[in-house]
Structure 1
């Protein structure tokens, strides 16, 4: 009798465990926003941990970067200011005037030096000090307004610049969206893209999925390199997140919830893998979302 009771209990426990496992699996794959491999992208992008409503000046936030252990840097696409934000709540601690108004689309920090890219590819940089107004150095690159640069990230000793528009510079022919390396020491863009990606490749990657099997378009708005995996997170304002491996192979594609991210425009990572993703306000206040790095 004791053996029978033990067997029944063991069977019930196994059945319950199986049910719980299936429940977890279904939970993370039963909608268009959950239809991705959470081992490849270990973030619950459909359920961010925190949301910060930003100052009204940042309604059109267009670039985001981690700065030190406790701060973020932000830029918006009309005024020539860099905003220093508290990472714990998105509150503006100070703002620094670095140039006149313009279409600024990306920001990154290497140590104490800040880099900002304009949509025409011009790169501005300055050292952060106690001054709230600086004269930034401006570098005119080989890009033009047709490239529509909308992404800036650090990768080793280089910067990555992502094209939202055409991928060609000078005479090279590029299909799809392209990312180029910029050498901040030489102040020069590489002649050929580091990698490029076509919409058809994204479509083919997701075509057999149950929920998320088609994209509207891919118009890059930000890019960031993961500090722990070196994966490349390439964000589109069309509410798509593309993740590439360190050798630039397509690894995963995620559909973002437009009810959460109205117009995603910035992405960056803290050293522990915590993701910060910014979204324009689209008529309201801009937002930053904090999303924890998960272990599955």
Structure 2
């Protein structure tokens, strides 16, 4: 009887240890989607905490930003509206007409102003308010449709503009995909990219992995800066997330599950590190995914 009790206690202890270990780390990869360093990217991107289906107007959601702890701002890429959403469920609180129809690809909030970037590099800005329609200020930049802009973020009070197309402006050659700074006060793009990356660098970074050791392209679709460590999270339409350190060095690469994320077009963070991703509906309703920050 004593032996039986002792055996039960031992098995119970081992079971609890296993549960606690898995809940704390869960870093052993067993698929292409788990094959990354969870200490460098402390999110279970293969298992988002929550998923919200959006209003049908946002089937082609193409950018996402944090307005405050309770609200997000989204833009879709055709009609010239931004949408204020409830962060807890993706419900539309209101929409604001800021420009005529066009190909809008990114949105960001800096202070009391909303900034929207068009695929040709034009920047629209307006002060956030309860108005249903505003007259946005439009700035023509040195970027063009050949750069095919597909991402807008903010770093140290300057906008980050990510190119999906060519990386050069003003005939200055740039290898790979580039990100430029937009100086808000001067209403101008910096002459040189802040950083750029080539597909070959990404391939070399992952080539020795067991599961995820090859990419099928890197075509940026969104960009954001992490609020806790200033890492730069750079999404690709090819279901890849590239993470750079604050000094723009390649830190980690994650393969994203296309069965979960149809077409990722937006990323932003809450102050506590909570990640929000937005995906176009691709014939269905658009989605927002909420993924909590893990301390490993």
Smaller-chain TM-score bracket: over 0.9
CA RMSD, aligned part only? 2.3
- Provide Cα deviations, 1:19-75, integer angstroms capped at 9, x if missing partner: 975898676410000000000000000000000000000001000000012100000
- 1:151-162 pair list within 5 angstroms: 151-162=151-162
Corresponding position: 1:233 with 2:237: no
Deviation at 1:128, TM superposition (A): 1.2
SS of residue in 2 equivalent to 1:146: helix
SS of residue in 1 equivalent to 2:254: strand
- Provide Cα deviations, 1:211-236, integer angstroms capped at 9, x if missing partner: 00000000000000000010000000
- Segments of 5+ residues of structure 1 without an aligned counterpart are 1-5
- Segments of 5+ residues of structure 2 without an aligned counterpart are 1-5
Cα distance in structure 2, aligned partners of 1:240 and 1:85: 26
Cα distance in structure 2, aligned partners of 1:26 and 1:122: 43
Deviation at 1:11, TM superposition (A): 11
- Provide Cα deviations, 1:90-133, integer angstroms capped at 9, x if missing partner: 00000000000000000000111000000000000000112110
Deviation at 1:10, TM superposition (A): 8.5
CA change 1:30–1:68 in 2 (3 A) is: same
Report the equivalent of 2:129. Answer: 129
- Provide Cα deviations, 1:182-238, integer angstroms capped at 9, x if missing partner: 001100000000000000000000000000000000000000000001000000011
Corresponding position: 1:186 with 2:150: no
CA change 1:190–1:15 in 2 (3 A) is: same
CA change 1:25–1:275 in 2 (3 A) is: closer
- Provide Cα deviations, 1:142-179, integer angstroms capped at 9, x if missing partner: 00100001110111111100000000000211000000
- 1:141-180 pair list within 5 angstroms: 141-180=141-180
Cα distance in structure 1, aligned partners of 2:282 and 2:293: 27
CA change 1:11–1:103 in 2 (3 A) is: closer
SS of residue in 2 equivalent to 1:150: strand
After the TM superposition, which of the residue ranges 141-150 and 126-135 deviates more from structure 2?
Answer: 126-135
Cα distance in structure 2, aligned partners of 1:149 and 1:270: 24
Corresponding position: 1:86 with 2:67: no
Deviation at 1:136, TM superposition (A): 0.2
SS of residue in 2 equivalent to 1:229: coil
Corresponding position: 1:208 with 2:208: yes
Equivalences, count: 293
Report the equivalent of 2:217. Answer: 217
Cα distance in structure 2, aligned partners of 1:270 and 1:24: 22
CA change 1:170–1:96 in 2 (3 A) is: same
Report the equivalent of 1:33. Answer: 33
Cα distance in structure 2, aligned partners of 1:182 and 1:104: 17
Report the equivalent of 1:3. Answer: none
SS of residue in 1 equivalent to 2:147: coil
Q: Normalised by the size of structure 2, how large is the TM-score? A: 0.93
Cα distance in structure 1, aligned partners of 2:240 and 2:79: 27
Cα distance in structure 1, aligned partners of 2:159 and 2:239: 24
Deviation at 1:16, TM superposition (A): 8.3
